[in-house]
Chains A and B, each alone.
Chain A
Amino acid sequence: MSAANLVRRIGGRWGSLVSQRGFSTTPTSIIENGAAAEQGVKSLNLYSAINQALHTALDSDPRSYVFGEDVSFGGVFRCTTGLADRFGKSRVFNTPLCEQGIIGFGIGLAAMGNRAIAEIQFADYIFPAFDQIVNEAAKFRYRSGNQFNCGGLTIRAPYGAVGHGGHYHSQSPEAFFCHVPGIKVVIPRSPRQAKGLLLSCIRDPNPVVFFEPKWLYRLAVEEVPEDDYMLPLSEAEVVRQGSDITLVGWGAQLSIMEQACLDAEKEGISCELIDLKTLIPWDKETVEASVKKTGRLLISHEAPVTGGFGAEISSSIVERCFSRLEAPVSRVCGLDTPFPLVFEPFYMPTKNKILDAIKSTVDY
């Protein structure tokens, strides 16, 4: 699968290597940092990068906990491998098979001043916990007049297509959570991003839903610093600079968009690619600045187009950049059907669908 190479390339060219203090989003400084910190960098896939982040989180804060279904033996995607052995069964443990229980428990644990890192086995199975997330975690601080909060809660869940997942092992439910003031939604595109963003989420004083692109767990390999570093939330990253059109995406879709940008370049179209990373609260300014420069916007995500987070981005940018737009905002997304097993290749927002949309937007 060519995504692997791409992700590797994204890592090599634009992946940010940022120490705990110095944040950076510009490609040049990242490359410098990368060269500077050759030591203590390891080639890791995405699940191992998550695993490292969890090791770091548990190691750096004795009041942090990792739990969820089948977490003890390493988790069905191996993200929690070795944690129970190293940090003990009281801090890393299996829960009963009950998502509402997992999140409710996590909220209580977090409300007492702990870092509760909860795993939902698949994003498709987060819905039994919807009430706890939407009505409880999201409003815990607000409803108490800031007397109480469950900011130590981080919910990790693998999301997205994987080639053979069908209805219930493929969904991208991020938009549901983006409609909920009080929680943050973060999605990494690569191993290095995953580690730095996850550590930020765990240490952020707000409840966060962190969706991990499961297609990339093994596929995406990148140089990841071994030390403790964080990447900023609510800061989008321009991973590729261009002048004709702005592309915005997140997670696994980013490498597909990157392929489309490369193909467009061959046809003389210069694309700017933005990784949004944090979906709420999102970095409108970075997207706005880019669209003001290019005059065109394309958004792409795997979730069904109707009511997807692309709609929110489109609407906000139209509000802010109406007079600068030279073409309608384009969305290349999943279709408005349940995620269909044998029709997955038809459902997906493929590179060529994006490429066609880039061309028609530029030619508008």
Chain B
Amino acid sequence: MTTQILGRSRTNLHLHKNLSFLLGYLVSKSTATSSSSSFQSGGVPFVKCRHAPPPYASSLLGNNSATRLCFWRSESTKAEAQLDLQHYVSEDEDEQVIDFPGGKVAFTPEMTFMAESGQKRVPCYRVLDNNGEPVTFSNYVQVSKEMAVKMYSTMITLQTMDNIFYEVQRQGRISFYLTSAGEEAVNIASAAALSSDDIILPQYREPGVLMWRGFTPQQFADQLFGNTNDFGKGRQMPIHYGSKKHNYLTVSSPIATQLPQAVGAAYSLKMEGKSACAVTYCGDGSTSEGDFHAALNFAAVMEAPVVFICRNNGWAISTPVEQQFRSDGIVVKGQAYGIRSIRVDGNDALAVYSAVHTAREMAIREKRPVLIEALTYRVGHHSTSDDSTKYRPVDEIEYWKMARNPVNRFKRWVERNGWWSEKDELELRSRVREQLLQAIKAAEKEQKPPLEDMFNDVYDQLPSNLKEQERELRETMKKHPSDYPSDVPL
């Protein structure tokens, strides 16, 4: 199925180039309705509810596609006329089009400014409603029982980890923490839809991806306590995880820097002929940085197999999205750069899973970037240094925490399938809690990385200035031992 759709969408894209965007809608719709069931995508069947159009078409059209189609038909005669022009006029072509570097552009006598936004906001793809019921007409990549249970369990593990470490920070045992509360589905479902060969370039609110890949509670705790087992050797603040083994590049605080890097990584995967892509995450605030725009443009031009997943959680610290951008969110920015894009309900694990799964296939097979905007909400404070009630209404937080809780929603679906019970839940929660408390105890007792790790890794080898500085430092420490922490081995 994916191959079919992708084949078609390539045509769509070609047409998009020549036609107005409106006509692009039309074409995807008409091909969509003519195609039929039994879709296969890399062995994963698409589940179809009633007369579902294929996923790519539906992502463009939303749920009430039939009505939308009629509407667009009547509105798009002008666009069709343009099509005719482009395809059949050849003698006096020069009169009708401008043969501009990069492709021909039709002339128009009408002075029309493109609108600053579409007539309607780009719809948001979802599979499950707030009660965890599959919505009619929805189509999605099927998730097996085993996968669903693992996804749900990992969400609970992530939640539990966040609650415990947040408290540990409050007790002053670690210096900083930041939760993913409210964004568990984006974290876990996106991770589940990827292959472990895919390279992750995270922002900082995606520890669930690393957890999905097998980073253990102990490894999380070791980083947070900056002890000798921390892969980052205690050099960075808490939550700056990274693991070579898990193809998860180390978190860097400066916002959006990972995005263009992901394009370079993706280009390498393409050149090596790997069946893998680069996947990079960012928040809504990050999309204002120059690096975001550089990344999208590079990705399109380099035809890099990279999936951009933007967690639009409504807030960048205290800055609401209206003060961040005036576009219809992030999804529309893809098109400006020539990148296929979709908006999904980030609190719907099945929708995230399906979109990421499909995006990954497109990225790798067609060697192209894909942009996913996941609408979600940062339920917690920005970090332990923040009090978000200073700048946003408590009602808003409560609404997203309760009515739109992504974990509860997925749980209802898993339970309805008979895959999960209250007993499973209790067992899981107490097991995870126990594991985490053990891990914290062990991490706290562990000594810090040795002093030499302060000087190593600045370069591949120690240059003479650092050798000298290390020597001098050790002299000073002999003279003033009480100036230095005793838990750093010398």
Q: Could you tell me the distance between the alpha carbons of A135 and B36 in the complex, rounded to whole angstroms?
A: 59
What residue of chain B has the Cβ atom nearest to residue A74's Cβ? B390
- CB within 8 Å for A94 and B318 given contacts A73-B391, A341-B226, A341-B237: yes
> Quick one: which of A70, A76, A305, A343 contacts B451, CB cutoff 8 A?
A343
Which residues of chain B are within 8 angstroms of A336 by Cβ–Cβ distance? 458, 465-466, 469
- Partner of B237 from the list A127, A169, A337, A343 (CB cut-off 8 Å) is A169
Identify B480's interface contact among A97, A305, A347, A352, CB under 8 A: A352
Q: Which listed residue (A97, A337, A343) contacts B324, Cβ 8 A? A: A97
- CB-based contact A96/B488 at 8 Å: no
Q: By the criterion CB–CB under 8 Å, are B483 and A352 in contact?
A: yes
Q: Does A164 lie within 8 Å of B289, measured CB to CB?
A: no
Q: Which of B176, B325, B483 contacts A350 (CB 8 A)?
A: B483
Smallest Cβ distance from A214 to chain B, in angstroms? 12
Q: What number of A residues sit within 8 Å (CB to CB) of B? A: 42
What's the Cα separation between A128 and B288 when bound, in Å? 12
- The answer, yes or no, to whether A167 is at the interface (CB within 8 Å) is yes
> Is the C-beta of A72 less than 8 angstroms from some C-beta in chain B?
yes
**Given the complex, which residues of B lie within 8 Å of A100, measured CB to CB?**
290
Stretch at the interface among B125-133, B141-149, B250-258, B410-418: B250-258
Q: Contact: A337 with B454, CB < 8 Å?
A: yes
Q: Secondary structure of the A side of the interface? A: loop
Minimal Cβ-Cβ distance residue in A for B485: A345
From B234, B254, B324, B458, contact of A342 by CB (8 A): B234
Q: Does A166 contact B (CB under 8 A)?
A: yes
Known: A96-B323, A356-B479. A169 touches B290 (CB 8 A): no
Q: Which residues of B contact A165 (CB under 8 A)?
A: 237
Q: Are A97 and B483 in contact (CB under 8 A)?
A: no
Alpha-carbon distance A353/B458, docked complex (angstroms): 23
Is the CB of A23 closer than 8 A to any CB of chain B?
A: no
Establish whether residues B254 and A124, one from each chain, have CB atoms under 8 Å apart when the complex forms.
yes
Are B290 and A343 within 8 A (Cβ)? no
User: Which residue of B235, B255, B480 is within 8 Å of A338 (Cβ)?
Assistant: B235
How far, in Å, is B490 (CB) from chain A's closest CB? 10
Measured CB to CB, the closest approach of chain B to A347, in angstroms, equals 7
Find out whether the CB atom of A72 lies under 8 angstroms from the CB atom of B318.
Answer: yes
For A127, list chain B residues within 8 Å (CB): 254
A166 and B237 in contact, given A337-B458, A352-B476, A356-B479 (Cβ under 8 angstroms): yes
- Asked if A281 is at the interface (CB within 8 A of a chain B CB), the reply is no
Q: Which of B240, B449, B454 has the most CB of A within 10 A?
A: B454
Give bound CA distance, A338 to B457, whole Å: 10
- A207–B319 alpha-carbon span in the complex (Å): 27
Please measure, in the bound complex, the distance between the C-alpha atom of A127 and the C-alpha atom of B255, giving whole angstroms.
Answer: 11
- State how many angstroms separate the Cβ of A142 from the closest Cβ of chain B: 25
- Write the residues of chain B forming the contact surface with A, with a CB cutoff of 8 angstroms: 175-176, 226, 234-237, 240, 252-255, 285-286, 288-291, 316-319, 323-325, 385-386, 390-391, 448-449, 451, 453-455, 458, 465-466, 469, 473, 476-477, 479-480, 483-485, 488
Which 6 pairs from chain A and chain B are nearest by CB? A342-B234, A96-B288, A168-B253, A164-B175, A166-B237, A343-B454
* A96-B288, A97-B285 given; 6 more Cβ-contact pairs under 8 Å: A69-B319, A125-B254, A337-B458, A341-B234, A341-B236, A343-B453
27 CB < 8 A contacts A-B: A70-B317, A72-B319, A72-B323, A72-B391, A96-B323, A96-B324, A125-B255, A127-B254, A164-B175, A165-B237, A167-B236, A167-B253, A168-B252, A168-B253, A168-B254, A306-B465, A335-B466, A335-B469, A336-B458, A340-B234, A342-B234, A343-B234, A343-B453, A343-B454, A343-B488, A346-B454, A346-B484
